[in-house]
Amino acid sequence: MTIWRTTTLAAAAFGLAAPAFAQDYCGGMGNDGIWIGGDEAGSDITTTDTYQEQMALVLGGNEYMSLFTLSDPADIRVEAAGRGAGDPVIDLLNASGGVVLSDDDSGGNAASRGETGLDAGTYCLSVRSYDGGPMTAFVRVGRQEHEPLTEGVSDTSGGAPNGSCDEATPIGALGSPVAASVNETPYWSFTLDAPTPVSITAENENADPVITLYGPGEIYLDENDDWDGLNSRINMTEPLAAGTYCIGMEALSDDTAPITVTVSEYDAATALLDLYARGDAAPPLDGSIPVTDLGVLQSRVRQDVQSSSDTAWYSIDIEEGSLLVVEAIASANSDPWLVIYDDLGREIGQNDDYGDGLDSLVMARVDRGTYIIGVKEFSSGTGFIRLLAERYVRAQ
């Protein structure tokens, strides 16, 4: 099942506008998306009187894409709340397909939420299920003064509470990690002497950290939860002005566990490699990233993988329209995660924990072409995984 079938089915089921095919949205990743306001004019969040909202049907292993525009710069809020036990994950993409923010659980009660300032332009909000299973969710985009969909894990409508940033502990030089529990150090600070793009990471999955970035004057800038597993990251790709900034820390699991915090200068090349390692983007097929060629898939191919938390990549060639079935079969000590892209980098499907076990499975109707398969350990560590790809054709 491809993304096109996901969004079209959602449109048919809930009476939404048809997918927007006219242009190349978000580097091509949003071409099958649906305008959150019904059409492009109604999806200009700068001029709407209130928020815009959709109901999204996310089929197993796929994503739902909402499109919106800003005719002027604005401070916006993007949210997704699953129905029942649904656990949505969101990615906000800019016009070139770059990730502006990602979130899982910052809305509270497994809902996703992000708030940030954006320049004028077209944006895509991707919604997928955390466990790769089917899900129905409400998606809302609005300005920060509009009514929120979610409760949020903290109040981010204003500055940091009670001037706590005044007591923040300085981190020191960029690139130097520091570590403390939330109980010990609820706020860190860093100073920029010149405009600088930065990356901020908070690492310790036992703590499940959430980080919030405030600018000079304790102005809210961004927050993140669960960028990489349960670890968090904020990428400020546009240079921050010179000044002192504050990082608010929360721990959703254990506020006594030490969290390693690093503020470093944002490096686009390193960030791209990180996306490949996490499986969040398809690697190029130019040899710069190792991709094992499994050749033409005639009927069935098996590959044993000594996996790790970094994604291992494989490519297969399909010579005619087929149903492609790919499984990542777990051994006794592994928990595989699986993703498939086409040769243009468009996600065909991804999955974790298909059925009652830890195996992963993606089924997709595909055309002739090259497809890129990524498999990794969902948790930290290494494991043995058996990768199986099968091709089925329509009966004559």
pLDDT band, residue 381 (cuts 50/70/90)? low
Domain 161-266, what architecture? Sandwich (2.60)
Domain coordinates in residue numbering, the chain: 3-143, 161-266, 282-392
CA dist., res. 113 & res. 102, Å (int):
9
Coil, helix or strand at residue 13: helix
Task: Give tens-digit pLDDT for 277-302.
Answer: 989 899 999 999 999 999 999 999 99
Q: Is the pLDDT of residue 118 over 80?
A: yes
Q: Is the pLDDT of residue 61 over 80?
A: no
Domain 282-392 of CATH type 3.40.50.1820:
no
Q: Which residue has the tokens 């001029």?
A: 47
CA dist., res. 95 & res. 124, Å (int):
8
CA dist., res. 379 & res. 375, Å (int):
12
**300-307: strand order across its sheet:** 300-307, 383-392, 322-330, 360-366
- Lowest-confidence range among 73-77, 215-219, 248-252, 294-298? 215-219
Between 3.40.630.10, 2.60.120.380, 3.40.30.10, 3.30.200.20, what CATH number should domain 3-143 receive? 2.60.120.380
Span 240-255, average pLDDT: 92
Q: Give the residue with greater pLDDT, 150 vs 153.
A: 150
